Each structure stands twice: as structure tokens, then as C-alpha cells.
Amino acid sequence: MPDDEEARAVIRRPGLRSLRHTLSEIEQLQATVAEMQASAAQIKALLPIEGGVSAAAADKLRELLK
């Protein structure tokens, strides 16, 4: 547990602490990038090499692009 977060820890039982970790700005950005990369991978997987897109794939693409 980082020293700067130890003061906010809640002792639930002797020897057991619980901590609500607040993401730093960098951690938030990393999480956002990871989500965007996952969405991009899903979109890429739904796009056909040739031809049209099925109705189910089109619906999924619309959902991902919202």
C-alpha cells in the first residue's frame, strides 16, 4: 500500500485494511486508452475484408460507435 494512501485505509478487522484507490490522471488516461483499443479491435473484427456487413454486425458497430 503506498504511503500516501495508507492514511485513508479503513481497518475492517485486525490486520486487514481496505482502501478505496483513486485513479491518478495517468491511470485514468491509461484506462480510457485501453477501452478505446478494445472497442477498435471489436470494430475491426466486425468489418469484412470484402462485401457487405450483416445486420447483426451493423447493429454491433452502431453500438460500439456510440
Supply 26's cell numbers: 495517468
The whole-angstrom distance between residue 50's C-alpha and the CA centroid of its chain comes to 31
Nearest to 48 by CA among 38, 39, 61: 61
Contact 40, 61 (CB under 8 A): no
According to the model, what pLDDT value does residue 17 have? 60
The whole-angstrom distance between residue 61's C-alpha and the CA centroid of its chain comes to 18
Cβ-based neighbours of 47, under 8 Å, separated by 6 or more = 53, 61
| pLDDT tens, position by position, 36-64 | 999 889 888 887 777 787 888 888 888 88
This prediction's pTM: 0.51
